[in-house]
Amino acid sequence: MSTPGDRQRDADRTRAEILDVAMAEFARSGYAGARVDEIADLTRTTKRMIYYYFGGKEQLYIAVLEKAYSEVRAVEKTVDVDHLDPVEAIRTLAQLTFDHHDAHRDFIALVAIENVHRAEHIRKSEVLANLGAPVLDLISRILDAGHESGDFTTEADAIDVHMMISSFCFFRVANQHTFGALFGRDMTAPEHRERLRTMVGEMVVAYLKGAGR
């Protein structure tokens, strides 16, 4: 039997199912390479319904991006900057970023794809503007504390530090295939995980302590 509201819930579930499948498909094949028919075939619904719910391929793709980014924000909220000394705080943030990239491969692929398209779709979404602000604020506070305590001697910009951490974590996942082909090592294999995780932490700390000059 069915109760009132079942239809709405079913529709929401269908929407969510489409989004999940579409995310995997776009991440696997890119925007142009992904097929709407393929996405439809992998769901319990039809292509017509994808158009009914999302309007078109591009809007579906944007919806996927929004979902992926929203799942991801507020990772940095886990860093308890006030109860950690600056060195441990920045190391923790770096390793959290590492873990996060490690756990969200599809998201990484989508970001890489979106860069191929010069971020044209992200720019069409208001939901995704200024999503970076929280991390920058966190890093700024850590940097200030580190300079005050004397732990950090390098004058660094929060955006630059974020870029340094992100680049390491992102590259390891995003470029695993060509890197593996060229150097014969899968950076994402379990046996390299802990070493690289430690490395990203030591890298930022060493840089901020200022031993590079």
* Of residues 68, 13, 15, 18, the one with CA closest to residue 43: 18
CB-neighbour burial class of residue 170 (10 A; exposed 0-12, middle 13-18, buried 19+)? middle
Give min distance, CB of 87 to a copy of itself, in A.
9
- Report d(CA 213, CA 206) in Å as an integer: 11
User: In the complex with a copy of itself, which residue's Cβ is closer, 54 or 168?
Assistant: 168
The distance of closest approach from Cβ of residue 123 to a copy of itself in the complex, given in angstroms and rounded to an integer, is: 6
Show the DSSP H helices in the chain as ranges: 6-33, 36-41, 47-54, 57-72, 86-103, 105-116, 120-123, 133-149, 158-174, 176-183, 190-209
Q: Is 120 in the site for DNA (CB under 7 A)?
A: no
The 107-136 site mask, x for binding a copy of itself (CB under 8 A), equals: --x-xxxxxxxxx--xx----xxxxx---x
C-beta separation of 78 from 50 below 8 A: no
The residue within the footprint of DNA, chosen from 5, 150, 184, 212 (CB under 7 A), is 5
Pattern 160-189, a copy of itself, x by CB under 8 A: x-xxx-xxx-xxx-xxxxxxxxxxxx-x--
Q: Does 159 contact a copy of itself by CB under 8 A?
A: yes
Question: What separation in angstroms does the CA of 85 have from each of 91, 141, 166?
Answer: 10, 11, 22
Q: With CB cut-offs between 5 and 8 Å by kind, which of DNA, a copy of itself, none does residue 16 bind?
A: none
Residue 113 contacts which entry, DNA, a copy of itself, none (Cβ below 5-8 A, type-dependent): a copy of itself
Collapsing DSSP states into helix, strand and coil, what is residue 32?
A: helix
Report the partner that residue 48 touches, choosing among DNA, a copy of itself, none (CB closer than 5 to 8 A by kind): DNA
- As measured in angstroms, the least distance from the Cβ of 145 to DNA is 50
Dihedral sign for Cα 99, 125, 162, 82, please. Answer: negative
Interface ranges with a copy of itself (CB under 8 A): 29-33, 109, 111-119, 122-123, 128-132, 136, 154, 157, 159-160, 162-164, 166-168, 170-172, 174-185, 187, 195-196, 199, 201-207, 209-213
